[in-house]
Amino acid sequence: MELIPVCNKQALMQAGCFFSPNTLRKWHSRNTHPGLVVKIGGRLFLNKKVLGKIVEKEVVKQRKRAQRLELLK
């Protein structure tokens, strides 16, 4: 499990996460994406593995949507 500190915006961007630290904090407090942001010792960390799974899921969703739109033409 690779964890990246949410407070380090540069490290987040290098890891491929272009969400702001504030967005990630909101998602953690609202439990929007369970497991994406974890709290350890009072600090928040982004779980890079979970981020990858979320991105893959969204890509599949967008491909299915594009296929449906092609069928409607």
pTM for the predicted model, two decimal places: 0.82
Q: How far apart are CA 3 and CA 21, in angstroms?
A: 14
What range defines the domain where residue 41 resides? Answer: 3-72
Q: Write the pLDDT tens digit of every residue in 23-33.
A: 999 999 999 99
Tell me the pLDDT band of 71, cut-offs 50, 70 and 90: confident
Share of the chain above pLDDT 70, in %: 99
Binning the chain into helix, strand and coil, the percentages to the nearest 5 are 55, 15, 25
* Domain count of the fold of the chain: 1
Q: How far apart are CA 4 and CA 15, in angstroms?
A: 8
| β partners of residue 47 | 3
Mean pLDDT over residues 56-65, rounded? 94
Q: How far apart are CA 12 and CA 18, in angstroms?
A: 7
